[in-house]
C-alpha cells in the first residue's frame, strides 16, 4: 500500500490529469452521441456510453494495478509480448470473420477484441528493447534493418487483415527511428514508402515515378555536397548519367515495346554512374538507388494488388474522394456530412446535448471514427480548439517525459507512445475536417470501443510506470 | 547516454512537427466553424430538408362560368436506389410497359445522382394507368409515387388563348430571382404565361428532419416553421368557350384567324388561330412528343395568327382612311370623286371594279371604291399644312390612336405591332424628301406597306362601333382581389377622330352589308356593319378578310376574320364573321343560314386539316352535314 502511494506520488501528474480529462471528455461525448432527448440517463450503464464507462473503469483499474509492477517487468516482457502479439495477429488473420470489411477482430468467449490495438504497444516495447540494447557504435546497417523489420512485420500482417487504418499507425514509428539516429533521408525514404503506399492507390503510377525520381535526385545531389565542392566535373557528369537513368527508367513504363531496351539502357547508365563515382567517399548512391527501385516497383506493381485485393472498395473510394477524383456523391457524403456537422457548431457550438445533427445520426460511424463531429457541433470552435490544445499538450508532455529519461528504453518507448497518439489524432481528426482521407481509426480515449480505450490506457500507464522510476534505475 | 545527447535537438523537430500539424487543424477548424458559412448552409439543407409543396394552379373559367382549364393528377414514379430490394424486375417492367434497358439505364442514372435521394424513375403516369399499377407497388420497395398535377382541358379548345404549362428551363430559373427551382412548372404561352403570377399560387414548404440515410425523422419544430402553400387564384376569362368552339369549327380546314371583341368593354369573346390543336396534347405524358409534332407541322399550329399574323388590311382600311380624311378637313361627308374604273396617275392606274360613281363617303365605302380612297389619301397628304413627310407622320400618329401600327396592349404574350410606314421608310426608297403622295397612294386602300394583325382589325371595328374610343382588348374578365389589375385592363383609349365623323362611316359599313360587297354577311333582324378586304398576297392566292360589328345600334360584338389564300373577302371571311356574330347574338343559326353554315364547316381549303373540329354541340339542325369522320381519321 505504501509502495503504491509512493508510485502514485512519483507518477507524472500533468500527464495523468490530462489522461483523466480526455477519458472524461470521451465518456461525455459518447453519451452525447447516443443521447435521445428526454429518455437518456447518464448513469444508465446498459446503454452504449454505459458500456464505454465500464471499459474506462476497467482500464483505469488495470492501469493502476500496472503501476505496482516492477518496471523491469516491462523490459523483460517486451520480447514475449511482441512474439505473442505477432502470433495473435496471424491467428486473427486466419480465424477472424469479416466485420466492416476487415478481418481484425478476435472473439474469445463473449469478448471481442482487436489484437492490432495491442500490437502497437507490443511493437513499441519491442522497438525500445531492441534499440536500447545496442551500443551507439553498433548502430549500423544491420541495426537499421532489424529495427525496420520490427515495425514492418506487424504492419504487413495488419495490412493483410485489410485494416489499413491500423497499419498506417506503424508508419509513425519512423519518428522514433529518427529520434534514435536514423538519417533524415532514411526517415524520409521510409515515410515516402508509407506515403507512396497510400498515394499509389490514388494517383497514376507514372506520376509517382516522376515524384520518386525527383525526390531521389534531390536527395542524391544534396548528400553529395562535398563531391560538388571538390570534384565539380565528375559530379556534373554523374548528375547527367543519373538523370538519363531516371529518364530511361520512367520511359520504360511508357513504351511497352521498348521496355527491355530501355531497362537495359537504364541498368547500363546506372553501372556507368556507379563506376564513375566508385572511388569517391563523398557519396553513397547505391543504397539510395536500390531503395528507389524497390519503392517504384512496389508502387507500380503493388497498386493494382492493393487496390483490388487489400483495400476495400469503400476505402479506395474514400481515398479518391479526398483528392477530388471521385464524383460519387455517396463517397463524398461522409466527408461532407462530417464537415457540415462540425461547421454547424460555429464559434460557440450548439451546447452540450444540443447537437441536432448528432441526434439525427447525420454522420456515419458517429460513436467511433467520426466522434469528433459531435464535439465540433456541440462545443463549437471554442470547444474543438481547447480539445486540440489539450491533445497537443498531452503529446508534447509525452516528448518532455521522454527527453528527461536516463534510460534509453524508457525514452524510446515514450517516443513510440508519442508517435502512436500523434498519428491516431492526425488521421482521425484530419479525416473529419477533410484534411486526410477517410480511414477508419479511433480517436484515442474518445471513440467508443473497449479494446481501443484499454489499449491506449495501457500505453499511458506504462509511460507513467517507467517514468516513475526515472531517477532510480538506469536500464 | 551519449546517443541521447547526440540527437537531442531532434526532439524539437518532432515537437515542431506536432505543433505544426495541430496548428493546421486549428486553422481548418477556424475556417469550417467560424469563417466559412458554406457548411452551415449545407447543414440546413441536408438535415432539415425543405420539402416543397406545390400548390394547385388556379382554375380557369369562361365568361359564362364554364370550367375550361382544370388540374388533374399525374404520378411521377420515384426511386431511392438504396431502398430498392431484390424484386421481380420482369414483372415491374411489364407493369410499366418498359423494357429492361430502360430499367437499367434509369437505375444507373438514379444511382449516379444519389443512392440516398429520390430521382424520377418514370415520369407522368396518368391517373388511370397508375390505378392499375398501384396495388402491386408494395412488391417494389424503394419505388414510390410523387403526385403532381397537370392541366386538363375539358373543351379541348382555345389552345392559343390558354397557352400551356411546362417545366421551367434554365432561362426561366435565372430570370425569376430564385422563385423557380428545377422541376417547377411555368406557363409558357397564352393566359398561362401572362397570368403566371396569379395562377401559380405560392409554393409552400415543409421542413422535414431527415437523417444521413434520408430517413424521415419527423417535422421540424412540430411544423411551426412550415409555410403553407397557397393555391393559385381561379380566374374568369372574357372568352365564351362555346363561341370559341364554334369559331374553331368554322375555321377547321382553313388557315387564318377569328377575333371577336365586345366593343364597349374590350373583352375578347373568342380568339381563334387556325390551324389549332387540342391543348390536352401539351399536357401530360406525351407532351414533348406532341410538341415536336406541332413544331414540325407545316401549318404552324403553334403560331398565334390572331396576334402575330401579318396581313395587309386591304379594303377594310378604307373605313379608317375616311375617318382620318374627315377629321383632317380634307374630306367632307358628301364629297364625291370620279371612278372610271380606277385612279389614274401619270405612271400607272390603281384599278377599280364596276360600280356607281361614289358621290359621298357612304357610297365610297359601300362600293369599296379604290379611286375614291386614293383621292382621300392624296388630299389628306397634300392639302394639309406641312410637308408630305409631316402629313405622313401625322397619318401614322393618328392610326396609332386606333391601335394600328402599335400594339393594342392585349394581355396575351407575343402580340406584334403590325406596320404603318413612316417618312423614313420612303426616304430610304426614294431618297430624302424625293417622294410625294403618288408614291404611296395605295396606302389609302390599305396596301403598300400597311400591315395589320387580325386582333387590330377587330379592335378597329370595336373602335368604330364605339364611335371613337376603345378599351384595349383583353382576355381577363375577373380575378378576386385584383382590382387594380382589372382597372388597368379597362383603361379607355380615345382616338384622335371626333365622334361626329363616325356616323357616315358606320352608315357606309352598314350599306356594305345591306347592299354592298358583303351581302352574304346579313343576319335577319340584326343590322350588321362591316367591310370586306382582299389582302394581296404576293406568294399565292389573296387572303380573304372581313371585319365588322353588330348590331349597328348598341353594338355587342366586333369581329375580324381572315382566311389565308382563299380569295375574296366575301367568299369565306364574311360568311364566317356573320355566323360568329349571329351565333353570339342569337345563340343559334337561323334555318335560312344553315346552308352557309354547312358550307363553311365542311370547307377544307387545306386538303389535309391537322386537327379536327372539337366535338361540341353545334347549332346545326341536321348533324349529318358535318362530315367529321374524314377529319377524325386524319388525326
Ligand atoms: Zn371605284
pLDDT score at A334: 73
ipTM, two decimals: 0.81
Quick one: B334 and B287 in the same domain?
A: yes
Question: Which DSSP category does B230 fall into?
Answer: B
Give the domain range for residue B392: 241-543+562-584
Residues of A with Cβ-Cβ distance to B221 under 8 angstroms = none
Provide the 10 A C-beta neighbour count for residue A304. 11
pLDDT digits (tens, 9 = 90+) for B595-634: 989 988 888 887 654 444 444 445 544 444 333 333 322 2
Quick one: B203 and B257 in the same domain?
A: no
pLDDT score at B363: 92
Contact between B625 and B601 under an 8 Å Cβ cutoff? The reply is: yes
pLDDT digits (tens, 9 = 90+) for B1-23: 444 566 778 888 889 999 999 99
pTM listed for this prediction = 0.56
Residue B127 cell numbers, joined: 391517373
Our separate counts of H helices and E strands in chain A read: 20, 2
Task: Assess if residue B593 is contained within a domain.
Answer: no
Task: Assess if residue B404 is contained within a domain.
Answer: yes
Quick one: B291 and B172 in the same domain?
A: no
Residues of B with Cβ-Cβ distance to A399 under 8 angstroms = 11, 14-15, 18
Task: Assess if residue B591 is contained within a domain.
Answer: no
Contacts of B534 (CB under 8 A, 6+ apart): B314, B315, B542, B543, B544, B545, B567, B568, B569
pLDDT score at B26: 94
Q: Is the dihedral of CA A69, A71, A72, A76 positive or negative?
A: positive
pLDDT score at B578: 94
pLDDT digits (tens, 9 = 90+) for A330-362: 445 677 778 888 888 888 888 888 777 776 666
Quick one: B340 and B380 in the same domain?
A: yes
State how far the alpha carbon of A297 is from the alpha carbons of A219, A302, A408, A450, B102, in Å: 19, 7, 36, 39, 45
Contact between B146 and B121 under an 8 Å Cβ cutoff? The reply is: no
| Distance between CA atoms of residues B238 and B242, nearest Å | 12
**Residue, of B382 and B605, whose pLDDT is higher:** B382
Q: Of B188, B210, B237, which residue is a domain's last? A: B237
Residues of A with Cβ-Cβ distance to B1 under 8 angstroms = 406
What is the distance in angstroms between the Cα of B280 and the nearest Cα belonging to chain A? Answer: 39
Question: Which DSSP category does B542 fall into?
Answer: P
Residues of B with Cβ-Cβ distance to A411 under 8 angstroms = 4
Quick one: B325 and B389 in the same domain?
A: yes
Chain A interface, best mutation among B22, B24, B81, B208, by max A CB count within 10 A: B22
| Cβ-defined contact of A343 to B43 (cutoff 8 Å) | yes
What is the distance in angstroms between the Cα of B106 and the nearest Cα belonging to chain A? Answer: 16
Closest-CA residue of chain A to B208: A360
Q: How many residues does chain A have?
A: 475
pLDDT digits (tens, 9 = 90+) for B117-130: 678 888 888 888 88
pLDDT digits (tens, 9 = 90+) for B439-467: 888 888 888 888 999 999 999 999 999 99
- The angle subtended at Cα B458 by Cα B454 and Cα B463, nearest 5°, is 140
Out of B14, B32, B115, the one facing A339 most closely (by C-beta) is B32
The H or E element containing residue A183 is none
Residue A340 cell numbers, joined: 457540415
| Cβ-defined contact of A388 to B25 (cutoff 8 Å) | yes
Could you tell me the residue ranges of all domains in chain A? 1-69+315-451, 74-182, 191-311
Task: Assess if residue B622 is contained within a domain.
Answer: no
State how far the alpha carbon of B179 is from the alpha carbons of A446, B173, B431, B540, in Å: 45, 7, 52, 48
- Which residues of B have a CB under 8 Å from any CB of A? 1-4, 6-8, 10-11, 13-15, 17-19, 21-22, 24-26, 28-30, 32-34, 36, 38-40, 42-43, 46-47, 113-116, 209-213, 217
What is the distance in angstroms between the Cα of B11 and the nearest Cα belonging to chain A? Answer: 7
Q: For residue A196, give the nearest of A168, A222, A177 by alpha carbon.
A: A168
Contact between B156 and B280 under an 8 Å Cβ cutoff? The reply is: yes
| Distance between CA atoms of residues A209 and B163, nearest Å | 64
| Cβ-defined contact of B3 to A181 (cutoff 8 Å) | yes
What is the distance in angstroms between the Cα of B164 and the nearest Cα belonging to chain A? Answer: 36
Quick one: B340 and B232 in the same domain?
A: no
DSSP string, B423-465: HHHHHHHH-TT---GGGGGGGGGT-TT-BB-HHHHHHHHHHHH
Chain A interface, best mutation among B9, B15, B18, B118, by max A CB count within 10 A: B18
Quick one: B266 and B170 in the same domain?
A: no
pLDDT score at B224: 64
Task: Assess if residue B623 is contained within a domain.
Answer: no
- Give all strands (DSSP E) within A84-165, no chain letters: 106-108, 111-113
Cα within 13 Å of Cα(B632), Cβ side: 6
- Domains in chain B, number: 2
- Ligand 1 centre distance from Cα of residue B341 (Å): 6
Provide the 10 A C-beta neighbour count for residue A20. 13
Q: Is the dihedral of CA B186, B188, B189, B193 positive or negative?
A: positive
Quick one: B253 and B218 in the same domain?
A: no
Quick one: B338 and B214 in the same domain?
A: no
Closest-CA residue of chain A to B115: A330
Quick one: B230 and B266 in the same domain?
A: no
Out of B8, B25, B116, the one facing A403 most closely (by C-beta) is B8
Contact between A367 and A448 under an 8 Å Cβ cutoff? The reply is: yes
| Distance between CA atoms of residues B267 and B474, nearest Å | 5
Residues of B with Cβ-Cβ distance to A345 under 8 angstroms = 33
The CATH number that applies at residue B187 is: 3.90.1310.10
| Cβ-defined contact of A395 to B209 (cutoff 8 Å) | no
Least confident interval from A202-206, B200-204, B272-276: A202-206
The CATH number that applies at residue B379 is: 3.40.710.10
Closest-CA residue of chain B to A136: B3
| Cβ-defined contact of B34 to A395 (cutoff 8 Å) | no
| Distance between CA atoms of residues A117 and A104, nearest Å | 10
Q: How many residues does chain B have?
A: 635
First-to-last C-alpha distance (Å) of chain B = 102
| Distance between CA atoms of residues B209 and A361, nearest Å | 11
DSSP string, A280-334: -SS---HHHHHHHHHHHHHHHHHHHHIIIIIS-HHHHHHHHHHTT----HHHHHH
Q: Which residues of chain A have pLDDT under 50?
A: 1-2, 322-331, 475
pLDDT digits (tens, 9 = 90+) for B209-225: 665 555 666 676 666 66
What is the distance in angstroms between the Cα of A452 and the nearest Cα belonging to chain B? Answer: 22
Residue A439 cell numbers, joined: 480511414
SS3 B304: coil
Amino acid at each position: 500500500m505504501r509502495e503504491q502511494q509512493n508510485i502514485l506520488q512519483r507518477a507524472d501528474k500533468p500527464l495523468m490529469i490530462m489522461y483523466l480529462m480526455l477519458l472524461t471528455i470521451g465518456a461525455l461525448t459518447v453519451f452525447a452521441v447516443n443521447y435521445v432527448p428526454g429518455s437518456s440517463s447518464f448513469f444508465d450503464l446498459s446503454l452504449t456510453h454505459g458500456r464505454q464507462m465500464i471499459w474506462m473503469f476497467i482500464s483505469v483499474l488495470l492501469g493502476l494495478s500496472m503501476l505496482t509492477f516492477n518496471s523491469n517487468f516491462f523490459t523483460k516482457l517486451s520480447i514475449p509480448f511482441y512474439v505473442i502479439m505477432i502470433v495473435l495477429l496471424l491467428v486473427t488473420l486466419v480465424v477472424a470473420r469479416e466485420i466492416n470489411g476487415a478481418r481484425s477482430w478476435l472473439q474469445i468467449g463473449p469478448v471481442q477484441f482487436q489484437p492490432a490495438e495491442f500490437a502497437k504497444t507490443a511493437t513499441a516495447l519491442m522497438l525500445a528493447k531492441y534499440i536500447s540494447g545496442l551500443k551507439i557504435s553498433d548502430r549500423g546497417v544491420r541495426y537499421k534493418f532489424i529495427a525496420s523489420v520490427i515495425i514492418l512485420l506487424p504492419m504487413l500482417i495488419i495490412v493483410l487483415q485489410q485494416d489499413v487504418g491500423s497499419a498506417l499507425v506503424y508508419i509513425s514509428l519512423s519518428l522514433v527511428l529518427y529520434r534514435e539516429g536514423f538519417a533524415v533521408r532514411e526517415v524520409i525514404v521510409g515515410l515516402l514508402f508509407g506515403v507512396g503506399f497510400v498515394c499509389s492507390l490514388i494517383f497514376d503510377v507514372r506520376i509517382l515515378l516522376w515524384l520518386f525520381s525527383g525526390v531521389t535526385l534531390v536527395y542524391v545531389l544534396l548528400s553529395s555536397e562535398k563531391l560538388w565542392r571538390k570534384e565539380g566535373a565528375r559530379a556534373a557528369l554523374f548528375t547527367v548519367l543519373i538523370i538519363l537513368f531516371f529518364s530511361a527508367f520512367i520511359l520504360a513504363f511508357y513504351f511497352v515495346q521498348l521496355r527491355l531496351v530501355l531497362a537495359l539502357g537504364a541498368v547500363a547508365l546506372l553501372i556507368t554512374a556507379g563506376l564513375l563515382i566508385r572511388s569517391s567517399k563523398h557519396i553513397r548512391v547505391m543504397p539510395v538507388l536500390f531503395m528507389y527501385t524497390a519503392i517504384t516497383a512496389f508502387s507500380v506493381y503493388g497498386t493494382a494488388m492493393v487496390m483490388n485485393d487489400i483495400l476495400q472498395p469503400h476505402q479506395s473510394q474514400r481515398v479518391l474522394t479526398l483528392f477530388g477524383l471521385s464524383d460519387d456523391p455517396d463517397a463524398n457524403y461522409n466527408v461532407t456530412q462530417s464537415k457540415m456537422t462540425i461547421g454547424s457548431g460555429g464559434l460557440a457550438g450548439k451546447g452540450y446535448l444540443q447537437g441536432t445533427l448528432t441526434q439525427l445520426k447525420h454522420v456515419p460511424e458517429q460513436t467511433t471514427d467520426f466522434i469528433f463531429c459531435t464535439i465540433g457541433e456541440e462545443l463549437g470552435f471554442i470547444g474543438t480548439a481547447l480539445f486540440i490544445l489539450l491533445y497537443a499538450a498531452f503529446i508534447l508532455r509525452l516528448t518532455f517525459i521522454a527527453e528527461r529519461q536516463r534510460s534509453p528504453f524508457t525514452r524510446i518507448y515514450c517516443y513510440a507512445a508519442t508517435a502512436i497518439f500523434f498519428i491516431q489524432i492526425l488521421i482521425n481528426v484530419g479525416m473529419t475536417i477533410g484534411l486526410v482521407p477517410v480511414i477508419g481509426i479511433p480517436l484515442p480515449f474518445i471513440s467508443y470501443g473497449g479494446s481501443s480505450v484499454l489499449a491506449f490506457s495501457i500505453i499511458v500507464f506504462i509511460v507513467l510506470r517507467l517514468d516513475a522510476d526515472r531517477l532510480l534505475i538506469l536500464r | 547516454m551519449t546517443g541521447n545527447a547526440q540527437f537531442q535537438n531532434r526532439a524539437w523537430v518532432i515537437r515542431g512537427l506536432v505543433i505544426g500539424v495541430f496548428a493546421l487543424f486549428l486553422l481548418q477548424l477556424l475556417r469550417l466553424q467560424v469563417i466559412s458559412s458554406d457548411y452551415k448552409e449545407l447543414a440546413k439543407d441536408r438535415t432539415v430538408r425543405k420539402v416543397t409543396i406545390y400548390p394547385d394552379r388556379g382554375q380557369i373559367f369562361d365568361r359564362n362560368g364554364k370550367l375550361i382549364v382544370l388540374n388533374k393528377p399525374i404520378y411521377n414514379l420515384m426511386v431511392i436506389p438504396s431502398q430498392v430490394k431484390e424484386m421481380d424486375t420482369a414483372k415491374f417492367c411489364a407493369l410499366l410497359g418498359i423494357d429492361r434497358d430502360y430499367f437499367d439505364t434509369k437505375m444507373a442514372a438514379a444511382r449516379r445522382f444519389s443512392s440516398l435521394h429520390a430521382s424520377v424513375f418514370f415520369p407522368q403516369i396518368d391517373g388511370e394507368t397508375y390505378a392499375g399499377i398501384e396495388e402491386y407497388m408494395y412488391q417494389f420497395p424503394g419505388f414510390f409515387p410523387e403526385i403532381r398535377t397537370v392541366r386538363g382541358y375539358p373543351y379541348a379548345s382555345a389552345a392559343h388563348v390558354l397557352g400551356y404549362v411546362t417545366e421551367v428551363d434554365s432561362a426561366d430559373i435565372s430570370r425569376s430571382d430564385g422563385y423557380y427551382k428545377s422541376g417547377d412548372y411555368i406557363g409558357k404561352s397564352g393566359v398561362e404565361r401572362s397570368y403566371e403570377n396569379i395562377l401559380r399560387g405560392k409554393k409552400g414548404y415543409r421542413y422535414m428532419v431527415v437523417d444521413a440515410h434520408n430517413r424521415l425523422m419527423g417535422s421540424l419544430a412540430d411544423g411551426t416553421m412550415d409555410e403553407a402553400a397557397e393555391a393559385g387564384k381561379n380566374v374568369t376569362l372574357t372568352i365564351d368557350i362555346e363561341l370559341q368552339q364554334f369559331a374553331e369549327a368554322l375555321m377547321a380546314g382553313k388557315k387564318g384567324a377569328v377575333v371577336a371583341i365586345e366593343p364597349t368593354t374590350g373583352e375578347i369573346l373568342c380568339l381563334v388561330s387556325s390551324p389549332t390543336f387540342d391543348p390536352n396534347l401539351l399536357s401530360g405524358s406525351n407532351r414533348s412528343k406532341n410538341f415536336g409534332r406541332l413544331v414540325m407541322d407545316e401549318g404552324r399550329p403553334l403560331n398565334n395568327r390572331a396576334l402575330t399574323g401579318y396581313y395587309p388590311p386591304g379594303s377594310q382600311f378604307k373605313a379608317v382612311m375616311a375617318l382620318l380624311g374627315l377629321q383632317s378637313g380634307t374630306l367632307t361627308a358628301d364629297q364625291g370623286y370620279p371612278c372610271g374604273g380606277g385612279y389614274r396617275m401619270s405612271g400607272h392606274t390603281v384599278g377599280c371594279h364596276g360600280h356607281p360613281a361614289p358621290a359621298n363617303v357612304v357610297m365610297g365605302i359601300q362600293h369599296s371604291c379604290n379611286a375614291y380612297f386614293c383621292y382621300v389619301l392624296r388630299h389628306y397628304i397634300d392639302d394639309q399644312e406641312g410637308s408630305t413627310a409631316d402629313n405622313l407622320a401625322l397619318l401614322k400618329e393618328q392610326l396609332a390612336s386606333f391601335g394600328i401600327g402599335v400594339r393594342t396592349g392585349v394581355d396575351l404574350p407575343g402580340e406584334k405591332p403590325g406596320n404603318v410606314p413612316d417618312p423614313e421608310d420612303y426616304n430610304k426608297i426614294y431618297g430624302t424628301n424625293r417622294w410625294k403622295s403618288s408614291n404611296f397612294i395605295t396606302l389609302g386602300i390599305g396596301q403598300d406597306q400597311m400591315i395589320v394583325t387580325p386582333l387590330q382589325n377587330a379592335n378597329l371595328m370595336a373602335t368604330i362601333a364605339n364611335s371613337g374610343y376603345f378599351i384595349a382588348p383583353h382576355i381577363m374578365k375577373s380575378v378576386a382581389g385584383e382590382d387594380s389589375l382589372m382597372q388597368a385592363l379597362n383603361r379607355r383609349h380615345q382616338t384622335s377622330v371626333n365622334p361626329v365623323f363616325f356616323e357616315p362611316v358606320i352608315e357606309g359599313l352598314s350599306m356594305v352589308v345591306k347592299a354592298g360587297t358583303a351581302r352574304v354577311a346579313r343576319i335577319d333582324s340584326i343590322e350588321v356593319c362591316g367591310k370586306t378586304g382582299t389582302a394581296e398576297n404576293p406568294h399565292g392566292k389573296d387572303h380573304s378578310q372581313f371585319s365588322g360589328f353588330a348590331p349597328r345600334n348598341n353594338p355587342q360584338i366586333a369581329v375580324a376574320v381572315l382566311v389565308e389564300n382563299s380569295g375574296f373577302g366575301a367568299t369565306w371571311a364574311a360568311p364566317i364573321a356573320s355566323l360568329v356574330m349571329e351565333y353570339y347574338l342569337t345563340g343559334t343559326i337561323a334555318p335560312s343560314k344553315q346552308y352557309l353554315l354547312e358550307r363553311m364547316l365542311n370547307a377544307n381549303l387545306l386538303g389535309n386539316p391537322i386537327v379536327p373540329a372539337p366535338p361540341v354541340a353545334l347549332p346545326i339542325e341536321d348533324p349529318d352535314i358535318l362530315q367529321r369522320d374524314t377529319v377524325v381519321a386524319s388525326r
